[in-house]
Amino acid sequence: MLDELRHFLLTAEHGTVTEAARRAHLSQPALSASLKRLEAHFGATLLHRGRSGAELTAAGSALLPRAQAVLAAFGDALSAVREVEGLQSGQVRIGAGGTVATYMLPQLLARYRKQNPKVRIVLSEMTPEQARDGVDRGDLDIAIVAGGSGERWGSDAFILVGARRCRPEQRAFPFVTFLQGTSTRHALDQTFPNAEIVMELASIATVKRHVRAGIGIALISDAAVQVELANRRLHLLPHPLTPLRRELFLVHRGQELLSPAAAALRALLLAHPPRPGGGKAKPSRRRL
């Protein structure tokens, strides 16, 4: 019906079917047939045709501004879709835990942003359960979670760190750890069920600060402590139960349901998976 509306507007603008047909690159009979289809659809005569040309009827005059609005709206819609398909606009919503959001995503998202500067990135820090629920509800395009199901992205490893070198398997040390619901806390509860927990904190930076102060030791992703290990502000604590490898997965509702912006991010993430150690040089693990 859009073509019929266009032919109607051309006829109204140029005043004759002959000229409208020329502008539309159609034969005169073909354009006349198009106008007849439009009139049949509305059940009204839209144009009076005579020797002097084509004139709008009352019904045609009523249709004219509305036909113009319909075609303008369709043009806007077409432009919007083409912009999104070409990643000239749009939005991608990501949910991830603190370690992934803080240490694994910044450089990748910066690269994505450079490639797609008009796409808005919304990153939310949350627990794995919250992230999966967000995808199920349609609030997130992609979640990055530890364990469970999804597309395998990569891995990191949990290690023990402390303010000074020690052998935690030889004596009990209190733990500074994260809140319930985080994958790090789950790993601690599973691996060290009898651990004495002296602090439950919400952020990685706060955990590291209190460990550096000597309050306790921490089970933490190696990706989060590469700098502190390198400058010896924290020390790796060897233990028979560590390192604990953790698999990370991309969760979404299916590739066919991803927007172009989200699909481009998924491709970038899969091309650059994280690995234990963050790809950085590690300090010496000598036991003193």
The pLDDT value recorded for residue 77 is 84
Encode pLDDT of 86-121 as tens digits. Answer: 777 788 999 999 999 999 999 999 999 999 999 999
Burial 203-219 (b: 16+ CB within 10 A, else e): ebeebbebbbeebbbbb
CA 3 to chain centre: 37
Q: Half-sphere exposure of residue 91, counting CA atoms within 13 Å on the CB side? A: 5
Mean pLDDT of 173-189: 95
Give the torsion sign (CA, 156, 160, 161, 166). Answer: negative
The pLDDT value recorded for residue 75 is 83
The pLDDT value recorded for residue 281 is 35
Query: Does residue 82 carry a pLDDT above 80?
Result: no
Give the confidence band of 286 by pLDDT, cuts at 50, 70, 90. Answer: very low
Query: Does residue 217 carry a pLDDT above 60?
Result: yes
Q: Is 287 in contact with 139 (CB distance < 8 Å)?
A: no
Mean pLDDT of 230-255: 95
Q: Is 222 in contact with 276 (CB distance < 8 Å)?
A: yes
Q: Which amino acid is at 225?
A: V
Q: Is 267 in contact with 217 (CB distance < 8 Å)?
A: no
Q: Is 235 in contact with 165 (CB distance < 8 Å)?
A: yes
Percent of the chain residues past pLDDT 90, beyond the cut: 79
* Burial of residue 192 (number of CB atoms within 10 Å: 0-12, 13-18, 19+): buried
Encode pLDDT of 145-168 as tens digits. Answer: 998 889 999 999 999 999 998 888
Report the alpha-carbon distance of residue 179 to residue 88 in Å, rounded: 39
Encode pLDDT of 19-75 as tens digits. Answer: 999 999 999 999 999 999 999 999 999 999 888 899 999 999 999 999 999 998 888
Give the confidence band of 277 by pLDDT, cuts at 50, 70, 90. Answer: low
Mean pLDDT of 198-227: 96
Q: Shortest CA distance to 245 belongs to which of 197, 191, 189, 177?
A: 191
Percent of the chain residues past pLDDT 70, beyond the cut: 95
What is the chain's mean pLDDT, rounded?
A: 91
- Collapsing DSSP states into helix, strand and coil, what is residue 212? helix
The pLDDT value recorded for residue 242 is 95
Burial 160-188 (b: 16+ CB within 10 A, else e): bbbbeebebeeeebebbbbeeebbbbbbb
The residue written with tokens 């005043």 in the block is: 15
